[in-house]
Structure 1
Amino acid sequence: MLRTMKAAALAALLMLCCGQAVAAEGLKDEEQVLALTRRMMETAMTREPDAVFAMLKPHYPVDPAEIDALSSNARMYWAAITTRFGKPLAYELVQTERIGKSFVRYTFLQKFEKHALRWTFSFYRPKDSWLANTFKFDDTIEPLYQAD
């Protein structure tokens, strides 16, 4: 099941990165970007991923139909995730990374009763505003470990 989840997450990531370009609402600064990702995580605590996808859609420069298809796939896997991991308990921002002044990536850990998910949101600033660049969730937490 985890391989299937990882394959689905990879497919979603590739489709979101390589889709047809469309107009998207930019966010004016990193404060707005972080606020949006926090609202998305709050939503993920009580609703299925399609609600999170819907919040990101206005800021993604790809065809909204592609996001809708990915959202539908994510909804199918969510039942398996909650059955295996239990109920969501909390979330925390665990990593913030930047590439110069052009990219920012926020990584959150969503804790469940039996395991956790990693949510990653990446934004790109081509000019004066920030656009969603990539988005994924999976249960690959190994990269989050840091030596003391």
Structure 2
Amino acid sequence: MTFSAIIILFTLQSSAQSEYLKDVENAKLISKEVAQLFKENKINEAFIKIKTYWPLPENEIDNLESKTIQSLNLVAERFGKSEQIVKVSEQNIKETAFRETYLVKYETTALRLIFTYYKNNNGWVINGFKWDDSFTEEFK
């Protein structure tokens, strides 16, 4: 009985990440694809793509996905139809980390998507992903 409980716990805490990106150019492709999927409201597909490269426990990513779907259902009602994606910025810490920011433009406002990547000995992984409506922070 105890042994099966340990196996279940280990399964729940296992990492969703199964692949590495070979370079920053591949990371840029993932960011752009996920931003486009957000624009098209294909959130499940976006998170499937993210999971592949994000060494976070799968249940945490699934929880974030569920909350995102719930929230974005309200976004369409309040902000109107999604219109386009715009790449806002990218920042690079030489051969260590890379961050890209996109906006998903709606009729009345925009959502900001921030992708952070980290390079370990095996390649590049997603180190963080968040979205919010605080795009005004992008003014410099």
- For Structure 1 versus Structure 2, the TM-score category normalised by the shorter chain is 0.7 to 0.9
**AA of the residue aligned to 1:75:** I
TM-score w.r.t. length of structure 2:
0.84
**Equivalences for residues 1-148 of structure 1 within 5 A:** 24-146=18-140
User: What percentage of aligned pairs have identical amino acids?
Assistant: 27
TM-score w.r.t. length of structure 1:
0.80
**AA of the residue aligned to 1:96:** E
Q: Deviations over 1:92-136 (max 9, x none)?
A: 111001223200000001100010011000000012410000001
Higher relative contact order structure (alpha carbons within 8 Å, sequence separation ≥ 6): 1
Name the CA shift for 1:21/1:79 in 2 (closer, same or farther; >3 Å). closer
Higher Rg = 2
Gaps of at least 5 residues in structure 1 are 1-18
Gaps of at least 5 residues in structure 2 are 1-12
- 2:84–2:106 Cα contact (<8 Å) kept: yes
Matched residues, number = 128
Aligned-pair Cα RMSD in Å: 1.7
More strand by share: 2
